[in-house]
Structure formats: structure tokens, C-alpha cells
Chains A and B, each alone.
Chain A
Amino acid sequence: MFSLWQRVNALATFSILLLAALSCAASFLDAFNSPSVRAHAEVIKVNRFRKQLTGNDEVSLTLNISMDLQSLFTWNTKQVFVFLTAEYETSKNSVNQISLWDHIVPDKDNANFRVRVPTKYPLIDQGNNLRGKKIDLVLHWHVMPKTGRMIRDKMALSEFYLPDAYT
């Protein structure tokens, strides 16, 4: 501590160490947040259901989605990425997981909403197994914190059956 620059150095080192400790503490407190997400999704309409020229089934839907993600937000949450997947089983793949719609929730004020949307991304199967197939709609969310680990979770919302014939 005998010179000005040595004091500046000591101050910078100790203050950054403490900043890291504060960030760790903020991230640690997130572990005590037990969110309860309420969400609902249903298929209103099958807009298109066809076999592509390559032989794969392609489906486009219109969905009614509502959710309340407010309990996910803590003081250490930067944003929440939420996406809806269609999950089903075929003889080729035991798990098929296809993202239909996604959304970035920037803050708590925008975390409770209801939308009626066409699927952002088409549901394309590997093959042509989709006629009459049971599809589960699953909501996934990734909570992106300001400091610390990203938290991932999911919730099965509803299931529906695709029509037996192409449109």
C-alpha cells in the first residue's frame, strides 16, 4: 500500500472479487424460487396437411396459446425464451421433437399473455407417419439469468390427433 498505483491495484482486485461474490449470491438465491407456470395450448385449425415431393409429411396449424410465466421472473432474470414443441413417436424414432412456435419474454410485465398464431415453423416428419398420429404439445422454457446458470424446464400441455387424410 506504499504507492498510489499499488492502492489502485489492491482496490481493483478486491472490488472485482466482491463483485463476483455478489453475482454468485444472486445466482444462488434463484435456487429458492419455485415457479408455478400456468399455460394452455390447443389446435384450432389444421391449415395444411400434405405430403412433400420428397415424401415427408408437412403440417401447418393454427394454435391458441395462453400462458402465465410471471412466477419465473426473479430480480436475476434477464429474459425467458419459451417454445412449443410437437412430440410424437414413430417406428423410426422413439422421440420426435419439433418446434412449432417460439417467443422471447423480455420482462415480467409481458409474461402473461394469450395469442392465436399460425405455427411459425412447419411440422415436418421424417417420413410419412403423421396421418391419424397422436401429437403431444409440450411447452419448454429457458430462463436466462443475468448471472449464473440457465434454467430449463418443460410442461406437457395437451394432445391432439392429426386427421386421417391429407388436405
Chain B
Amino acid sequence: MDWQGQKRAEILMQILLLVSGIAAFAIGYIMGSFQMMLLIYAGGVVLTALVTVPNWPFFNRHPLKWLEPSEADRHPKPQVSTTAGPKKKASKNK
């Protein structure tokens, strides 16, 4: 799952759960049945799990683009300076 997909999964999970909770409460209250509320909410939780927990393809539409190795060679990583202050060296040796 890529970065955009993770964000999308989290938002989708919260929206789906909130909607199923509100719908369950409303329907349960209108029907006067606490059990119906729990059943609808449980159904909503299962549906949300099916949508957001597996790594579906639509969570992987924005793959990270890494640099080519040749590009990395042309811009080498800056070397750690060997002329650092004596205090730092002392602390490193400890």
C-alpha cells in the first residue's frame, strides 16, 4: 500500500464506520429494536473491514518513484567531514 493509499484507507475507514453507526442508530431507534442497531452496526464493521483491511489495487495507484542508480552515482552522498571538533570526537570514542 502506497502513501496515498494509506491515507485513503484511513479516511475511508472512518467515514464508513461513522455512516454505518449513524444509520444503525437511526434505524434501530425507529424500529425500536436495540438488536437491530447492533446487527446493522456489525454489518457495517464487517463491510468496512472488507474494504479497508486487504491491500486492494486501488490503494496502490501512486507508487513511489525512486531515482535510477546512475542518477545517484552522479550526485554522491556528502561525506562526513573528518575535520570535526575535538570535543565531538572525544564523545564518539566513549
Contacts and interface: CB of A to CB of B under 8 A. Distances in A.
Interface in A3-38: 4, 7-8, 10-11, 14-15, 18-19, 21-22, 25-26, 29
Chain A interface residue number, banded: 20 to 34
* Contact residues of B: prevailing secondary structure: helix
Contacts of B49: 8, 11
A7 B37 contact: no
B52 A7 contact: yes
Contacts of B39: none
A34 to B, nearest CB: 17
A10 B37 contact: no
- For the side of the interface on B, what is the size category? 20 to 34
A116 interface: no
Interface stretch (B17-25, B64-72, B80-88): B17-25
Interface of B: 1, 6-7, 9-10, 13-14, 17-18, 21, 24-25, 28-29, 31-34, 37, 41, 45, 48-49, 52-55
